[in-house]
Chains A and B, each alone.
Chain A
Amino acid sequence: MLKFIVRRLIMLAPILLGLSLVMAFFLHLLPGTPCANILGERATAAQLQKCEHNLGYDRPPIVQWADYVVNAVQLDFGTSFSGARLPVLDAFLQRFPATIELTLAAMLFAVGVGIPLGIAAAKRRQSLLDGAATVVSLIGISIPIFFLGLILVYVFGVWLHWLPAGGRFDLREFDFKGAGTNFLLWESLVIDRDPAKFLDVVGHLILPGITLGTIPLAFVMRITRSAVIEVLNEDYVRTARAKGLSARRIDSRHVLRNALLPVVTVIGLQSGLLLGGAVLTETVYSWGGVGTWLFTAAVDKDYAVIQSGTLLLASVFVLVNLAVDVSYAFLNPRIRYA
């Protein structure tokens, strides 16, 4: 097992190398350099050239790439030239907790609703509930998530005033200056021990979580349904029924454990995708995660952030998938990694 994990981690290196090369050429192919943005519209051609020379953008892309790799290996991912001019890694670590909390909320919603709904639909196939679940999942996939976000903001935030319409906590009532980890759930509950503050943070998570969780919900529901249907037809389920086990025991021990494997795959894949930044949800709810960070970088042509940000997110994606693969072995002892 350990060997498998180590081998997969080593595999990460060529993937990241290749990706950084692709990104380097991709950025090179795009017209213009960040200098135009740094110097502003009135810069002369000579100034531009000088800036490009100083920052090394006039070198061949392959040289720029090699230079980038040498720095990246030493965990120097460059410095953003807009905003607070933070090193990219620092900015990433500051933003990423917000994305993690949002992803957790979304996946909690998707799994908490999707799995029970999928099981119920599978056990009563062709019933009204089954049909309704299928239609709901198709609608869930069909709604653009910013549109869903806009509707939820309007109905619950603007119209009914039940839930906050944006932000991560109520700026007028609370502040988070203590630990600076940016994990607000953890900080409010464990460090500040302030239940009101914690509930406020949770309240701010509800709408973005539902918005972001709808598409994963649809996938989790459909996969759970088909996996449970498949397992229900297995011989060992019939055997378990024949020997008189209670329906509850069959469900929990025989059906669910075996049906869970494909569901875990989907949960892992979807979490990986969500961790990659939910630009839309973050924009609608003014959520300071990695999605809006990359988005602003794209607007500002902030090369260092674009290049290293995508690379860091790709690593997160690969690592999450590795975690999913490892979890298979725990869920299904028949799977062994040599």
Chain B
Amino acid sequence: MAERTVAVTADLTPAELEQLLLERPDYEVQLESLNQWQLAWRRFRRHRLALAGAALFLALVAIAIIGPFFVHYDYYEIPHPDELVYAGRPPSWISGDWDPPLLMGETARLQRDILGLVVNGARLSLVIGVGATIISVVIGAVWGGVAGYFGGWLDSVMMRIVDSLLTLPILFLILVAGKFLGRGDWPSVMLIFGLFGWLGLSRLVRSLFLSLREEDFVDAARAVGVSDGRIILRHILPNTLSPIIVAATLSVAGVIIGEAFVSFLGFGVDITQPTWGNVLTSSLDFLQQGNWWWAFFPGFAIVLTVLGINFMGDGLRDALDPRARI
């Protein structure tokens, strides 16, 4: 009959469908089927805070990638060799002094432009956050997956190890390890966070595997002779992806805060390579003199990033939950 058709998806409510039919009487309605990821994207799109968080995060990633081309930073360059000033300069829009123009002010002592530090620090902070998360997700998924799939004494031993390690003050161990092993270069900081960050994730993956291995499709796979490794990787793991993605997203935020924490105390990446954390290192000493901008802008960058990631994670949690409607 009608030549024009409109595709309708399953997530439309009956009321919305009725409205649509009233508005377009000459259209033929066709049900469009979406896969799991398309549905999740639809749900995510409707989550306004999550979208805002994702936009914020992507904007910061963009700044991290292209920002350093525009804002120059070199640790070995002394910004004002002819001036001897101890305290830092406030942002130009507060002091009214536009020579040189300082959007975020200057640090005390070495007189570094804070804008340059924040923009250049974005790179390492994000790389460490994402890199460490990838390492800990891989370790956590393998450890939790093996424990949950095989069960029995192997599971008990593996999980008791995780339990004992969880009672240790992990961030303190990271401090110690950073002090002894780290030469202050970013790969070792990233590695340390990755190697200590998988404990919670392995518990999550294990609990998912425990319930999934009882499912019929696993029995079916086993019945036709699929190997254990293949069942774990191809049959069970894809079903655990949603919670792992959510946990990984939140872990990126956790590592960024953790890196800032370790660097703030002077144990992280050394100051020749700026990160948001090590920029803050000496800011505390100058706060008493009123140099608030030194602590504020790098700290605010961390807050924005972590806030964006957490909003995004919240939205992902809702979007990837297969029981959720809309």
Interface, chain A (partner B; CB < 8 A): 15, 18-19, 22-23, 26, 30-32, 135, 138-139, 141-144, 146-147, 150-151, 153-154, 158-159, 165, 276-277, 279-280, 283-284, 294-295, 298-299, 301, 306, 310, 313-314, 317-318
Contacts and interface: CB of A to CB of B under 8 A. Distances in A.
A141 B164 contact: no
Given A150-B299, A314-B169, 19 more contacts: A15-B163, A18-B160, A19-B168, A30-B177, A32-B180, A142-B303, A144-B261, A144-B299, A146-B261, A147-B303, A151-B296, A151-B299, A153-B287, A154-B295, A280-B264, A283-B284, A295-B265, A298-B179, A298-B267
A158 B164 CA distance: 43
A276 B175 CA distance: 14
Contact of B164 (A19, A32, A159): A19
B188 to A, nearest CB: 13
B228 interface: no
A25 B185 CA distance: 24
A145 B307 CA distance: 14
A306 B288 contact: no
Given A15-B167, A295-B175, A158 B288 contact: yes
A138 B310 CA distance: 7
B114 to A, nearest CB: 14
Given A30-B181, A141-B310, A158-B287, A298 B167 contact: no
B180 A283 contact: no
Q: Which 3 residue pairs across A and B have the least CB separation, nearest first?
A: A147-B299, A30-B180, A142-B306
27 contacts: A18-B160, A26-B173, A30-B181, A135-B49, A138-B307, A139-B303, A141-B306, A142-B310, A144-B264, A144-B299, A144-B303, A146-B260, A146-B264, A147-B260, A147-B299, A151-B296, A154-B287, A158-B287, A279-B172, A284-B284, A294-B169, A295-B172, A295-B265, A298-B172, A298-B179, A310-B168, A317-B167
Interface residues of B, number: 41
A266 to B, nearest CB: 15
Contacts of A15: 163-164, 167
A144 B171 contact: no
A146 to B, nearest CB: 5
Nearest to B289: A158
A121 to B, nearest CB: 15
A279 B307 CA distance: 23
Contacts of A283: 265, 284
Contacts of A277: 169, 172
Contacts of B177: 26, 30
Contact of A22 (B49, B164, B290): B164
A30 B176 contact: yes
B287 A306 contact: no
Interface of A is mostly: helix
B104 interface: no
Given A147-B299, A310-B172, A314-B167, A142 B253 contact: yes
A303 to B, nearest CB: 10
A306 B172 CA distance: 9
Contacts of B283: 150
Contacts of B253: 142
A160 to B, nearest CB: 12
Nearest to B290: A158
B257 interface: yes
Nearest to B313: A138
B292 A154 contact: yes
A21 to B, nearest CB: 10
B154 interface: no
Nearest to B260: A144
A225 to B, nearest CB: 14
A143 to B, nearest CB: 5
Contact of B171 (A139, A143, A279, A314): A279
A299 B310 contact: no
Contact of A143 (B160, B288, B303): B303
Contacts of B176: 26, 30, 298, 306
Given A142-B310, A277-B172, A294-B172, A150 B179 contact: no
B155 interface: no
B141 interface: no
A142 B296 CA distance: 15
B280 interface: yes
A147 B302 contact: yes
Contacts of B270: none
B318 interface: no
Interface in B139-165: 160, 163-165
Given A144-B303, A313-B169, A317-B167, A150 B287 contact: yes
A156 B119 CA distance: 29
Contacts of B163: 15
Interface in B288-326: 288, 290, 292, 295-296, 299, 302-303, 306-307, 310-311, 314
B287 A22 contact: no
Contacts of B284: 150, 283-284
Contacts of B165: 22
Nearest to B305: A142
B180 A31 contact: yes
Contacts of B306: 141-144
A42 to B, nearest CB: 21
Interface in B183-226: none
Nearest to B176: A298
B69 to A, nearest CB: 28
Interface string B14-30: 00000000000000000
